[in-house]
């Protein structure tokens, strides 16, 4: 079993749709949580950190449930430019080693 | 501010050959990471340096992979000899890290390695 599990997709949604990605992690010692975005043939870039209280950045909302070891990302009013792979990432250990999920591919259709 | 630089961007080699990748992190970033990203997977940490010391190399296949960061700035990752399963994108990242806070990792554009 992978330490960070995500639905690989693809998620094909029309412009303007709301889409939700889910992620689970198996190591209860994980201490930091992130969503990264990776465009095709590009490097990953931090989209947002995830906190237990939940956090929002414009059209993006991230939630963390430590009890269930579950992380989510909600994208409202999808844009064509949101098309990318979204990587769920957890950090653990003294060095905050990052463990990446396999990513979920989102394709926003016109 | 300049980002993380990597070279070469692409490399094609035959199995059993050797190859080296170079990374120059963002100026002032003490921590440097090498990741391997196989097609369809997320990046996997190979090695982490804090200045010129190795912090974590638990997932580095040490029989064929080696890395160094001699002066605490740029770094090289070497594979010798390469295997077909080493075909992947090798990503370098850097960050400001202290043992109280954790900072964002910034990734370079990667080196796409194809082993034939």
pLDDT tens across A48-106, in order?
999 888 899 999 999 999 999 999 999 999 999 999 999 999 998 878 889 999 999 99
Task: Find the closest chain B residue to A92 by CA distance.
Answer: B102
Report the pLDDT averaged over residues A28-46.
Answer: 94
- The order of strands in the sheet holding A19-25 is A4-6, A19-25, A70-75, A60-65, A55-57
Q: What is the predicted pLDDT for the residue at A94? A: 79
Report the pLDDT averaged over residues B45-66.
Answer: 94
Q: B110–A96: do the CB atoms touch at under 8 Å?
A: no
Q: What is the predicted pLDDT for the residue at A52? A: 84
Quick check: helix, strand or coil at residue B40? Answer: coil
Flag whether residue A106 sits within 8 Å of chain B, measured between CB atoms: no
Kindly list the residues from chain B whose CB atom is less than 8 angstroms away from the CB atom of residue A45.
107
Interval A17-27: pLDDT, tens: 999 999 999 99
Q: What is the predicted pLDDT for the residue at A96? A: 80
Q: What is the predicted pLDDT for the residue at A54? A: 86
Query: Which of A36, A92, A95 is most worth mutating to test chain B (most B CB atoms within 10 A of its CB)?
Result: A95
Report the pLDDT averaged over residues B51-66.
Answer: 94
Q: B81-99 b/e with 16+ CB inside 10 Å = b?
A: ebeeebbbbbbbbbbebee
Q: What is the predicted pLDDT for the residue at B104? A: 83
Q: B42–A87: do the CB atoms touch at under 8 Å?
A: yes
Report whether pLDDT(B107) > 70: yes
| CA distance to partner chain B, nearest, from residue A16 (Å) | 27
Task: Find the closest chain B residue to A47 by CA distance.
Answer: B104
| CA distance to partner chain B, nearest, from residue A99 (Å) | 7
- Location of structure tokens 């094609």: B12
Assess contact for A29 and A92: CB atoms under 8 A.
Answer: yes
Q: What is the predicted pLDDT for the residue at B101? A: 56
Q: What is the predicted pLDDT for the residue at A77? A: 98
Q: What is the predicted pLDDT for the residue at B79? A: 98
Q: B42–A94: do the CB atoms touch at under 8 Å?
A: no
Q: What is the predicted pLDDT for the residue at B91? A: 98
Cα distance between residue B38 and residue B46, in whole Å: 12
Q: What is the predicted pLDDT for the residue at B98? A: 56
With a CB-CB cutoff of 8 Å, which residues 18-77 of chain A face chain B? Answer: 32, 42-46
Assess contact for B49 and A110: CB atoms under 8 A.
Answer: no
Report the pLDDT averaged over residues B52-60.
Answer: 93
Cα distance between residue A64 and residue B6, in whole Å: 34
Report whether pLDDT(B111) > 90: yes
Count of CB atoms situated within 10 Å of the CB of A66? 13
Task: Find the closest chain B residue to A98 by CA distance.
Answer: B45
Q: What is the predicted pLDDT for the residue at B102? A: 64
Which of A32, A100, A102 is the closest to B102 by Cβ? A32
Q: Per residue, what are the HEC states of chain A?
A: CCCEEECCCCEEEECCCCEEEEEEECCCCCCEEEEEEECCCCCEEEEEECCCCCEEECCEEEEEECCCCEEEEEECCCCHHHCEEEEEEEEECCCCEEEECCCEEEEEEC
Q: What is the predicted pLDDT for the residue at A40? A: 95
| Radius of gyration, CA atoms only, chain B | 14
């Amino acid at each position: 079993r992978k330490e960070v599990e995500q639905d690989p997709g693809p998620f094909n949604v029309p412009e303007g749709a709301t889409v939700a990605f889910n992620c689970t992690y198996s190591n209860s010692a994980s201490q930091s949580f992130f969503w990264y975005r990776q465009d095709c043939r590009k490097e990953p870039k931090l989209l947002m950190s995830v906190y237990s209280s939940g956090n929002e950045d414009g059209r993006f909302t991230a939630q963390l449930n430590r009890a269930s070891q579950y992380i989510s990302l909600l994208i409202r009013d999808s844009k064509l430019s949101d098309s990318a792979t979204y990587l769920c990432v957890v950090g653990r250990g003294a060095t905050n080693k990052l463990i990446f999920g396999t990513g979920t591919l989102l394709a926003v259709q016109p | 501010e300049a980002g993380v630089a990597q070279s070469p961007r692409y490399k094609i080699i035959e199995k059993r050959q050797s190859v080296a990748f170079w990374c120059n992190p963002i100026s002032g970033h003490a921590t440097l990471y090498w990741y391997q990203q196989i097609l369809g997977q997320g990046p996997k940490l190979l090695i982490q340096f804090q200045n010129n010391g190795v912090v974590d190399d638990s997932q580095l296949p040490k029989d064929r992979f080696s890395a160094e960061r001699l002066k605490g700035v740029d770094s090289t990752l070497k594979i010798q000899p390469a295997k077909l399963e080493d075909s992947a994108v090798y990503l370098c990242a850097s960050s400001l890290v202290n043992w109280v806070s954790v900072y964002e990792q910034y990734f370079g554009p990667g080196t796409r390695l194809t082993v034939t």
